[in-house]
Amino acid sequence: MEQDEPAANRAAHYLRRGYQGLVTEDFRNYLRKWIPLSVLIGLFAGLGAMAFQWLLLGIWHASYETTDLPWYVRFLLPAAGGLLAGLIISRLSPESAGGGTGYVIEAIHHRGGKVPPRSGLYKIVVSALTIGTGGSGGREGPIMHIGAAVASFFGGRLKLRKGDMRTFAIAGAAAGLSAVFRAPLGAAIYAIEVPYKNDLEPGAAIPSMIASVVSYLVFVSFNGYEPLFMVPAISMDLDLFIVLAIVLLGAAVGLAGRLFIFTMHTTERLTERSRQPLASKIMYGGLLVGCIGLFVPEVLGLAEDDIARLVEGSAASVAFLLVIFLAKMLATSFTVGTGGSGGVFFPSLMMGGALGTAFALMLDLTPVPLFAIVGMGAMMSGVSKTPIAASVLMAEVVGGYTVLIPVMLASVIAYIVTGDQTLFKNQVARRPFVYDPAALDEVPVEKVMRGDPITLTPEMSVAEARKGTVCETHYLYPVVDAEGRVLGVVLREQLEEHAEPEARVDTLMVRHFEKVKAGTSAYQAFEDMNAKQISRMLVVGHDDGILLGTLTRIDLMEYLEHKDEEHQLY
């Protein structure tokens, strides 16, 4: 037994080290924290998705499926829904304007992951009104916004830190997307991929997967387990001709994606320049959509049945398919680009599917459904910069991984062809930290730390402490005994706000503080900071606990930047 125990310890150590690349906290603490939080957000995001779906389908049914409406009513319905939604947005919830995905991305990058919880409720209503009355939009943007808003509600109640709130928002977005598309893996990948043009948010992977699965189970328990679209059996041989055709289709869809992005951004710029009230802008966009819908009714609303027919391989003329592409592109730009609430995922599927089907018919390629699905995935990848998620999502949405390799190939080509163009202006290229922290592995913390920090003693008065620290404003100050051992820390905020200048420092002292022992690698200190989401540590002697200096995240970054500059010289 004595010989087995070290082996077991080594195995556990290697397991933790291997898992460290994916998670950001100690394995056990990470799971203890994120499993219940992710289950919670998945449960309520799934319920939110059900409420959104129920309201959306109810409005659509009341608008278009109850009676034969005269043409002028069909013409005016998108404008009426847009006007009502615009009034709600402008007066009650400006955050609910637009697609939803872009707002979530902005919240992740610039607002600490916080999405106003009340905006989730309004987003359900305005999105259902916009799409249910014929506006051309998808469910993914609104439901991501709703999921992130639910996450913000619970995150605020639980007083989560900023880093946790960002993770929670991503998990909420994944949970919402998973429910409506019945694609838990693809939704989780999409949520961690869409904030960036060419990067991922790996720290949110596990929470997003857990929340996605829970949300999926909640939704399908009431709506069935069938995939979103049923595809006929596809048998194919990926010979050289088919591969070249898929590459060519990916390039063509990429060019079409650039046109879609240009049209959407042009509409947004023209809308921003207009001095009309927001409700009027959305209403006029609805009038244009209604006009298009008179001639091409397939562009109205989600167009889910029309997408399903493309997936099934229902043949249509090439000319009509190209009209579908152009009409859907314009209708979506007029709906979402003017401020209407709806996503771009479903419109992307329809546009890509129409192009893929037309491509197959023109070149007499079979099976036609395969090229429709490949076109859908390529369009999604190109306009949202999510090639990984597009591949997995399409495989899950059609219920078959046979299409995975062709969709992957076309998605990468479309991603390359669209370049840095994207529908989401607030996407960033990659996560901000660009240096390799492995360079810190053999560097002791003493080499990076700042020595001779300002210290306090427990007998000092608050007034003396204020006077001694006025020259250097830090977040906290170490409190040491006569021999230099650290007893605790005092926050600067406490010093400045304490009402009794004669009070002793030890009455304000916090005895719990983060420390790192001399000799520890700076890489380990960096990992500990990431795990605990802190920005500074005290460096103490290995055996005696005497304060040697302070180590901050800025110190680590500056050291890495200096090493990178040295590397560039040679």
Is the Cβ–Cβ distance between 9 and 140 less than 8 Å? no
Q: Which region, left, alpha or beta, applies to residue 232 given φ > 0 means left and ψ of -120 to 50 means alpha?
A: beta
DSSP conformation letters of 97-156: -S-SHHHHHHHHHHSTT---HHHHHHHHHHHHHHHHTT---BSHHHHHHHHHHHHHHHHH
Determine the longest span between alpha carbons in the chain, in angstroms: 90
Establish whether the linkage from the previous residue to 367 is cis, with ω within 30° of 0.
Answer: yes
Phi, psi of 546 (to 5 degrees): -75, 135
**Mean pLDDT for the stretch of residues 90-102:** 86
Q: Which two tokens stand for residue 28?
A: 């056990």
Q: Which two tokens stand for residue 263?
A: 């049209």
Q: Which pLDDT tens digit goes with each residue over 225-273?
A: 888 777 777 777 778 888 999 999 999 999 999 999 999 999 999 999 9
Is the Cβ–Cβ distance between 456 and 225 less than 8 Å? no
Alpha-carbon distance of 133 to 187, in angstroms, equals 27
Q: Which two tokens stand for residue 334?
A: 């007029």
Band of the pLDDT at 325, cuts 50, 70, 90? very high
Q: Which two tokens stand for residue 339?
A: 């401020």
Say how far residue 228 (Cα) sits from the centre of its chain: 22
- CA distances 458 to 42, 214, 451, 491, Å, are 48, 51, 21, 14
486-491 and 476-480 strand pairing: antiparallel
Is the Cβ–Cβ distance between 141 and 344 less than 8 Å? yes
Phi, psi of 461 (to 5 degrees): -85, 165
With 0-12 / 13-18 / 19 or more C-beta atoms within 10 angstroms meaning exposed / middle / buried, residue 291 is: middle
**Residue extents of the structural domains in the chain:** 27-418, 437-568
Is the Cβ–Cβ distance between 38 and 216 less than 8 Å? no
Q: What is the pLDDT of residue 314?
A: 75
322 Cβ contact list (under 8 Å, min separation 6) = 354, 355, 358
Q: Which two tokens stand for residue 439?
A: 């360079």
**Mean pLDDT for the stretch of residues 310-324:** 85
Q: Which two tokens stand for residue 206?
A: 């596990």
Whose tokens are 């994606």? That residue is 257
Lowest mean pLDDT across 181-185, 290-294, 440-444, 446-450: 440-444
Q: Is the pLDDT at 23 greater than 50, yes or no?
A: no
Q: What is the pTM of this model?
A: 0.76
Amino acid type, 82: G
DSSP conformation letters of 148-193: HHHHHHHHHHTT--HHHHHHHHHHHHHHHHHHHHT-HHHHHHHHHH
Q: Which pLDDT tens digit goes with each residue over 106-156?
A: 888 888 888 888 888 899 999 999 999 999 988 888 889 998 998 888 888
CA atoms 141, 144, 149, 150: torsion sign: positive
Domain 27-418 matches domain 437-568 at the CATH topology level: no
Q: Tell me the sheet residues that pair with 468.
A: none
Q: What is the pLDDT of residue 268?
A: 92
Q: What is the pLDDT of residue 9?
A: 57
**Mean pLDDT for the stretch of residues 477-505:** 83
What kind and span of H or E run contains 486?
strand 486-491
Q: Is the pLDDT at 323 greater than 90, yes or no?
A: yes
Q: Is the pLDDT at 3 greater than 70, yes or no?
A: no
Q: How far apart are the first and last CA of the chain?
A: 53
Q: Which of 339, 405, 328, 299 is nearest to 100 (CA)?
A: 339
DSSP class of residue 538 equals E
- List the CATH code of the domain at 27-418: 1.10.3080.10
Average pLDDT over the chain reads 85
Alpha-carbon distance of 517 to 300, in angstroms, equals 64
Is the Cβ–Cβ distance between 545 and 563 less than 8 Å? no
Is the Cβ–Cβ distance between 284 and 135 less than 8 Å? no
Whose tokens are 């500056």? That residue is 558
CATH architecture of 437-568: Roll (3.10)
Q: Which pLDDT tens digit goes with each residue over 190-203?
A: 999 998 888 888 88
Q: Tell me the sheet residues that pair with 478.
A: 489
Alpha-carbon distance of 371 to 363, in angstroms, equals 11
